[in-house]
Amino acid sequence: MDNLTGLQATLEQVYSQMLPLCSSLIGAAQGIAGFAALWYIASRVWRSIAAAEPIDFYPLLRPFALGIAIMLFPTVIAVMNGVLQPVVSTTNSMVTDSNNAIATLLQQKQQAEQQTQTWQMYVGADGSGDRDRWYKYTHPDDPNDSNEGMLGSVGNDMKFAMAKAEYNFKNSIKEWMSEVLQVLYEAAALCINTIRTFQLIVLAILGPLVFGIAVFDGFQHTLTVWMARYINVFLWLPVANIFGSIIGKVQQNMLTLDISQIQSTGDTFFNSTDTAYLIFLLIGIVGYFTVPSTANYIVHAGGGNALVQKINSLISSTSRTVVSAGGGMTADAFGNQRENVTQSMAMNSESEGYFKDKIKN
């Protein structure tokens, strides 16, 4: 798991090395922004002149501000990272403190296990156990094995080997399951951070192009959507760190319970609390894949298209107007035939029209 944790630093190095590539699109973005600024300013100045109104210069400064941001884009992205980095550093310290506490508890658990009689019998300093200690513990009436005999010695060797295997299996199964889930947990965290790093690199490299397109009328929303998306993706790591600190706290409580079991009974065993711990690890693995949606609660990056919304509203209002006015146009084109179609013929027969004349005659 140390190798998996070390890959997080590798991803940070990849991001730092790829970030200067955003400078390659500054020239193209400046050309787009200059062309857009020409139309942006010209349309507003011409409209003011045509309406004999004074020219409002403040809105005309927007293209120049975006042009400066494009020219200094590496500084802009560095400022954004500098503002957001303290959140990452704070959550990283939470995970570091949790990991240090877990390492301390693991050492305490190991020391408590080594002081128990069962560990000294079945494991010992060399890992092969101590048969003499086991014999004294299981045969208190014959501590010096004076009455053991050759056949008894073979049988006791088999009993000792089976007891040692049972002890090792019982103690290792929980650790094995925990290790497997820990590896999956770290792999899920690494997967989320890798996707985060790739998206940040793409957003950073294409940032100048987004700034240039945002000068055009109708595309102003691209700038806010880009910033919201960048902040949203950047917050994936802090949210993942919070998940990690929560699972670390659960693991601390689990280790504390193991130490109390060892101190009270001289052994650790698998119980419902251990099952709950493994379930929490599974929840943590699933929770890592909800990091993007969780970060979306902090900064929403849905990105509505104002131009499309205006077009849709214009089309819907126009269609309603056509439908409401359609009655008058249809009446003008077809005369009383529209009334005969839309209303019952019996109503027209008593009031107006062809049938009224026939009844009079």
Q: Residue 326's pLDDT is what?
A: 45
Give tens-digit pLDDT for 115-143.
777 777 777 766 677 676 766 767 666 66
- Is 43 a residue whose pLDDT tops 80? yes
Tokens of 311: 């077009």
Tokens of 69: 């941001």
- Is 357 a residue whose pLDDT tops 60? no
Which residue reads 């900064």 in tokens? 299
How much is the average pLDDT of 25-48?
A: 86
Closest to 354 (Cα-Cα) out of 328, 327, 342, 346: 346
Angle at 83 between CA 77 and CA 84, to 5 degrees: 90
Closest to 291 (Cα-Cα) out of 188, 200, 201: 188
pTM of the model: 0.67
- Confidence bin at 229 (pLDDT 50/70/90): very high
How much is the average pLDDT of 40-64?
A: 83
CA distances from 344 to 267, 330, 333, 350 (A): 93, 17, 20, 11
Closest to 31 (Cα-Cα) out of 70, 72, 76: 70
- Is 154 a residue whose pLDDT tops 60? yes
Closest to 104 (Cα-Cα) out of 221, 256, 308, 220: 256
- Is 180 a residue whose pLDDT tops 90? no
